Amino acid sequence: MTDFRRIAVLMGGRSAERDVSLSSGRGVLKALAEEGFEPVGIDPGDDLIAQLRQAAPDAVFNALHGRFGEDGTVQGILEWLQLPYTHSGVLASALAMHKERTKDVYRAAGLPVVKSIVCDRHKAAQGHLMEPPYVVKPVNEGSSVGIFIIRKGDNRPPAELGSDTWNLSSEMMVEEFVPGRELTVSVIGANQFGPARPLGVTEITTALDFYDYEAKYAPGGSAHVIPANVPEKIAHDCMEMAVTAHEALGCRGVSRTDFRYDDTGAVPRLILLETNTQPGMTPTSLVPEQAAHVGMSYAQLCRWMVEDASCDR
C-alpha cells in the first residue's frame, strides 16, 4: 500500500504523440479513481511547474509520450520539485528515447541489433546511404512517427524528408530493414516488489504496410496474438532479452521492448528494435493487454505504477 492519494496525471503535452497521450491519460484518470485515488489531469504547458504546484499532488503518473515527456525532460523537472513519479528516470529515459544511444547500450549488453547510420534528414533525402531495403526514422520520436521503408527498386528516399514542412527531428536513423514478424515484450519492475519480470510475448500483425502510427492506434489497425505463436525458445529468448534491455538501460516501472523475428532465412534471428519507457495505456495498447494476460487488470496495473512511484529514479 502507499500513502499517495492525490495523483497528478501528466497527459497531452507538445509532442507528435499528443493525441495518444491524451487517450492514455483518460484511461489512467478513470482507473485511478476506481482504485480510490484522487487523480487530477494536467496538460503540460509552458508553466508546468506552476501547474504542478497548484495541483499539489502526492505523486505524478507520467502518461506523456514522445519528446519532452519520455526523453528525460519532464523527469528532471519532477526530480527538481522532489515529486515522486512513475516510469523511468532521467538517464534511462534519455537513452531509450535516442534510438542510436539505445543501440549502444544494447551492443554493450550483448543484445542483437542491425547496422545503422545517423545523419541529417536532408542527407537521408539526397540518396541511398545503404543498399535497400532499409528504414529511415527520426532518431528520437516514438509511436512509429515519421518512419519510411525504402524497398528494393526504389529510386531514392522520399522527398518529404527534405521538405520545409517537416516538423519532426532533423536527426534521422538509417538502418537495415529486417523482414519477418513483429514481436513485443513488456517488462515490469525492478523495485521493492521484486526483480524485473516479463509479462509475455505478443505478435503484432497488420494489413497495412507496417506497424505504423495508424496500425498502432486506429481501431482494427492491427491484431495482437498473445501468447505469440513462435517456437518456445524464441519466446524464452525474447523475454530474457527484454529484461536484459530493461536492466541495461536502467529502466524503472514498466517498459516495452520491440523485436523483429526474422524467420525468412535458413537461420532464424531475433533483432531488438527499441525499448519504450513510456508505453501506451490506450484501449489498443500492448502493455495493459499483456498485464491482463497474467491476471492484472488495467486498474491494478495503474495502482502498481503509482505504488512504485519515487524520486531519483
> Which CATH number fits the domain that encloses residue 263?
3.30.470.20
Pair (21, 143) in one structural domain: no
d(Cα 313, Cα 308) in Å, to the nearest integer?
Answer: 10
Q: Residue 47 sits in which domain range?
A: 6-87
Grid cell locating 40: 487530477
Pair (107, 227) in one structural domain: yes
Of 176, 195, 216, the residue at which a domain comes to its end is 176
Distances from the Cα of 144 to the Cαs of 4, 74, 162, 290, in angstroms?
Answer: 34, 21, 19, 20
* % of the chain with per-residue pLDDT over 70: 92
Pair (288, 236) in one structural domain: yes
pLDDT tens track for 33-42: 999 999 999 9
**Residues comprising the chain, all counted:** 313
In a domain, 300, yes or no: yes
Most confident stretch, 9-18, 154-163, 250-259: 250-259
Pair (200, 274) in one structural domain: yes
Pair (17, 149) in one structural domain: no
Pair (54, 148) in one structural domain: no
In a domain, 1, yes or no: no
Pair (128, 242) in one structural domain: no
Q: Which residues are catalytic?
A: 17, 143, 217, 256, 258, 274, 276, 280
Is the full-model pTM beyond 0.75? yes
Domain count of the fold of the chain: 3
Which region among 29-38, 119-128, 252-261, 298-307 has the lowest average model confidence (pLDDT)? 119-128
* Residue spans of alpha helices (H) in 160-296: 213-217, 232-249, 286-293
In a domain, 292, yes or no: yes
Pair (22, 159) in one structural domain: no
In a domain, 225, yes or no: yes
Pair (32, 11) in one structural domain: yes
The whole-number pLDDT of residue 80 equals 96
Q: What is the CATH number of the domain that holds 40?
A: 3.40.50.20
Q: How many helices and strands (H and E) does the chain possess?
A: 10, 12
Which region among 8-17, 134-143, 224-233, 277-286 has the lowest average model confidence (pLDDT)? 134-143
Q: What number of other Cβ atoms are within 10 A of residue 215's Cβ?
A: 21
Pair (128, 29) in one structural domain: no
Pair (62, 138) in one structural domain: no
In a domain, 313, yes or no: no
- The SS3 call for residue 227 is coil
